[in-house]
Each structure stands twice: as structure tokens, then as C-alpha cells.
Amino acid sequence: MRWVADWHESEGLKADGVIVMGVRPNERLANALQRAGISNRDLARRVNVRAAAAGLNIAIDCARVGRWLKGEHPRDPVPGIVAEVLSQKLGPLTLADLGWSHTGIDPMDPLWSPDGAAHSLHEYARSDLMLSRRDMAQLAVGLPLIAAAERLWWADPPAGTTAPGPAARVGKEDVAGIEQLVRHFRDLDGRHGGALFRAAIVAQLQDVTELLAHGRTSTPAVDRRLRQTAVDLAQLAGWTAHDAGYYGTAQRYWTHAITLARQAGDPGRGAEVMSRLAHQMVYLGRPDDALQLLDVAGRTAAAAHNLRLTAMLTAQRGRMLAAVGDAQASLATLAQAQEHLARAEESGERVEEWIAYFTAAELAGATAVAYRDLHTLHGKPVGRASIHFAAAIEQRGAGYERVRAMDMVGMAAAHLEEDNLEEACVVAGQALDLAERLDSTLIRSRVLTLATATDRVSSHPQVVELHQRLGGWAAPDLHAA
């Protein structure tokens, strides 16, 4: 595919290969070029070389770079390639550092039309595939993130759905096949960790969003069902990006997913994706942000009337309250989650696939992490975390190898904190044997908590070998999970 670079300035519209942003000069791009000591001609050459190496037929010249500096915005994947080229000179850069975003659209804009949201996500997925080893998206945190989450669900979107196009051809059977593929991806992610299959998930998401963007569904009901499938794929793409350590990329997939869930009229899926944003924030050491995101998710979930979803969100809140050190509220909230889950099990309500992972084992794991955080972060021992980790492991079904490894590592760390050194070493050895077979930043982060727990007893004869084995795991840029 050749990316044509014709600029229709008088029209002020999206042209082939560019998005016209007006006449404001791009000062951030100019500053980056000056700091890098790269001329317009040299940047064009480097972009063309990098694009060719990625198998793209892109032709950029120095005049094109000049128009970027005047305010023109190139289409994906060109911005990402420019950021990668300049990052080689200046260190890691995001698109925002260069005055750009993917497709020139705010990735947290809730006012996309149905086809606009699908198109934006399609372009983002395509760019992600082109530059799969880079995280170009700027991470939103604090008030901007909370405000965006509010807007994503509660702002009034344009009405209507994408009208079927002339090539409408996707029917119920086609969507059923894609749904089956999503189940397969979920299973692979749980068994092996997400990094290995991330590109395949993103590629499938790109295909699905292309169908949505061009109105290639046969009926409104099929369109809604395919849009829900796109939500599931975007959630998975975000989760696997998060598991690979691409936090900004994960956030962008999730914000797109929330918009698609709103357009599909599916508050349950929307609230579940919001909980992923909250999980990421507590993982990155921002539990206050996580609690506010869960407030938004809870209001969104109210319309879904799903007891299992309510139980999951309540358990997440209990964990976040532990992270901020509120022991009393954390324990009370976790007890409420137990009650909600019991009602869900007794009610006979349909277990939706997107929330089926939340079981008694998942609740036990959240409780264990809460107990751990209260003790290790805030000096508030409320009970033995190892008991809850053990319960999670015992109740965990087949196919959840990543979370099983995380629970086992957590249990080993808890045994160390509880001075059960012999049991800790046995469990830790088994956990690391399993963890070494999986590709997951989340597991490596959980190992960090175990390495930290061994520090105070590293000279003990029973722990020396374990401490040495952990030396190759605990990278300094990981967060405790």
C-alpha cells in the first residue's frame, strides 16, 4: 500500500495520507527536530528507511516534513514512525511530545459517531501492529483520566448506528465465528500470558473494526453484536498490552472499548473495561485514581443489573481501599463482595462470558492481595494473606496458569512475611517453575514482591538459594502487582 501525500489545504478536510490541522505551526515537532539535530530532508529519509524495513511503501520528502511543521497531521502509522526515529536520538517520545495523536482525534473523545469510533480504533490497531515493540501513547492519570472516564460513558453521543454499506455481508454466523475466536484468545491469554498472542488479537480487532467502520453488517442487531465483539477484542488488546508493559497503549484500547460498549448499549461490558483502567492505576501506584474510576464504573454498572459484575467491582474496591490503608473499609467491602457473589451464584442469572472469570477463586485472590497490602504497605496486619492465596489456588479452574502463578508467588511471599520459611521456599520454587514458562510482565511484577520479602531473611540458610534465583527476576522498572 502506498501512502499518498496530497494536501488539500483549501478544503480543510482529511486528505489521502494526512489530516489537516489548520495553520498553527507544530512547535513541538520543530523543537524535537532542533534538539535532535536532524534536518527536514534527513527526517524524511529516516522515516522512509524505517517504513521500508517494516514492509511499508511510504514516500516522504522534505517538503512534506515542512508541511508537518506548518500544522499538517499525517495519518497513522507515519506519526509513530516519526516518533520512533526521533526517539533514537532523544530517548523515548510519545506522539504528544511531537504535537500529534493517532489520526489527529482525541482518543478519549466520547462524541465519536459509531463509524468514527470504529475507524479510529481501526487506525490505532493498524499503527500498533506496525510498531508493536513501542508504546507511543501518553498515559493519562489523575483528574484528566477521571474526567475522561466520566465523559466516555455519560456524555450524549451522536445518535444512530452505522448504516449498512453497499458491500454488507456480515451475518449472525460470521459474528458467531468471531466470538469463538475471542474465546480462544481469552483461553490463550490465561494459559500463556498475553504478550505472545498480542499481535494476533490486535490484527483480528483491526479486521472487525474495518467491518464496523464501513457498515458491512447485514442488520442493526448484527451490528450491535459485532460491536460487542469489538469491545471484547479491544479489552483483550488492552489487557495484553498492559501485560507486556505498554501502559499507554493499553489505556487507549480500553477507552475505545468503553465508547464502543456505550454505542452497543452494553453498560456491563463498559463497566468491566473501566475496572481494567482502575486495575492499571493501582498497579502503577495510584490507588486514589483507581477508586475514582471504580466510582464511575459502579454508576455505569447499575444499568446492567448483573450481580456478578457488582461483586467484581466491590471486590476491586476492597482491594483499592487496602492499597490506601483503610483496613476497616477494605474488610467490610470485601465482605460485601462475598455476599454479592453468593447472591449471583444462587440467583441462577446467566453468566456472561466477559465476566465469567470472576469466581470465588478471583475473590480470594483479591482478598489475599488486600491483606498483603495492609500488612506490607501500611503495617496493619489483619490476618494471614497466605490462607487466602491458598484458597484462590485451590479453587482456580484449569486454564488460568498466569493468575495461578501469580497466586503461588503471592502465597510464597506471604509465607515469608509470616516466618514460614520452609513452606515459602517450597511454594516459591514451584511458582517460579511455572512462571518461567509464561510471558507476562504481571507475573514478573508479582515476583518483585517475593524478592522484596526475601530481603530481610536473605542470609537465612533456607532462603539463600531462593534469593539467588530471584536475582534474575526483579527488574527495577517493574511495579509490585
Tens-digit pLDDT profile for residues 224-270: 999 999 999 999 999 999 998 889 899 999 999 999 999 999 999 99
DSSP code string of 359-400 = SHHHHHHHHHHHHHHHHHTTS---S-HHHHHHHHHHH--TT-
Cell of 481: 502487582
Tell me how far apart the alpha carbons of residues 401 and 109 are, in angstroms, rounded to a whole number.
36
Look at residue 409 in the predicted model and tell me its pLDDT: 95
**What is the rounded distance in angstroms from the CA atom of residue 163 to the CA atom of residue 114?**
10
**Residue 303, pLDDT above cutoff 70:** yes
Q: Indicate if the pLDDT at residue 162 is higher than 70.
A: no
384: Cβ–Cβ under 8 A, 6 or more apart, which residues?
A: 371, 414, 418
> Which band of pLDDT confidence, cut at 50, 70 and 90, is reported for residue 337?
very high
Of 52-61, 65-74, 309-318, 331-340, which range is least confident? 52-61
Q: What one-character-per-residue DSSP string does 197-230 give?
A: GHHHHHHHHHHHHHHHHTT-BSSHHHHHHHHHHH
Measured CA distances, 182 to 11, 80, 205, 221, 419 (Å): 41, 28, 10, 19, 43
Phi, psi of 72 (to 5 degrees): -70, 145
The per-residue b/e assignment along 351-366, b for 16 or more CB within 10 angstroms, e otherwise, is: eeebbebbbbbbbbbb
pLDDT at 385: 96
Say if residue 106's pLDDT is above 60: no
Task: Give the pLDDT band (50/70/90) at residue 327.
Answer: very high
What's the count of helices (H) and strands (E) in the chain, helices before strands?
20, 4
For residue 12, the SS3 value is coil
Residue 474 pLDDT level (bands cut at 50, 70, 90):
low
Q: How confident is the model at residue 134 (pLDDT cuts 50, 70, 90)?
A: low
Q: Which has more pLDDT, 96 or 212?
A: 212
Rg (CA), the chain: 24
Q: Are strands 57-58 and 2-3 parallel, antiparallel or unpaired?
A: parallel
Q: For residue 20, give the 3-state DSSP assignment.
A: strand
- 3-state DSSP percent of the chain in helix, strand and coil, to 5: 65, 5, 30
Q: Name, in order, each residue with C-beta under 8 angstroms of 296's C-beta and a sequence gap of 6 or more.
A: 146, 149, 150, 153, 274
Domain range annotation of the chain: 2-104, 106-304, 305-374, 398-481
**Residue 452 in 3-state DSSP?**
helix
Q: Is residue 143 over pLDDT 60?
A: yes
pLDDT tens digits, one per residue of 54-102? 666 788 999 999 999 988 888 767 887 887 788 788 776 666 677 775 4
Residue pair 402/193 in contact (Cβ under 8 Å)? The answer is yes
Higher pLDDT, 359 or 191: 359
- Residue partners of 431: CB distance under 8 A and separation at least 6: 405, 408, 409, 411, 412, 450
- Separation CA 43–CA 369 (nearest Å): 48
pLDDT band at 13 (very low <50, low <70, confident <90, very high): very low
Torsion angle of the four alpha carbons 206, 137, 134, 60, in this order, in degrees rounded to the nearest 10: 80
Q: What is the residue-averaged pLDDT of the chain?
A: 84
Determine what percent of the chain is predicted with pLDDT higher than 70: 84
- Cα(151)–Cα(112) distance, rounded to whole angstroms? 12
DSSP letter for 196, please: G
Share of the chain above pLDDT 90, in %: 51
Question: What are 85's three cell numbers?
Answer: 526515529
Cell of 338: 462475598
Partners of 73 in beta bridges? 19
Residue 99 has what pLDDT? Answer: 76
Nearest alpha-carbon partner for 245 in 106, 94, 135: 135
Q: What is the pLDDT of residue 92?
A: 60
Inter-residue contact 388 to 364 (CB < 8 Å): yes
The answer to whether the beta carbons of residues 374 and 380 sit under 8 Å apart is yes
Kindly give, in sequence order, each residue whose CB lies less than 8 Å from that of residue 472, ignoring residues fewer than 6 positions away.
none
Reported confidence tier of residue 21, pLDDT bands at 50, 70, 90: very low
DSSP character at residue 138: P
In this prediction, residues 272-281 reach a mean pLDDT of 97
Q: Which residues pair with 20 in a beta bridge?
A: 72
Q: What is the pLDDT of residue 218?
A: 77
- pTM higher than 0.75: yes
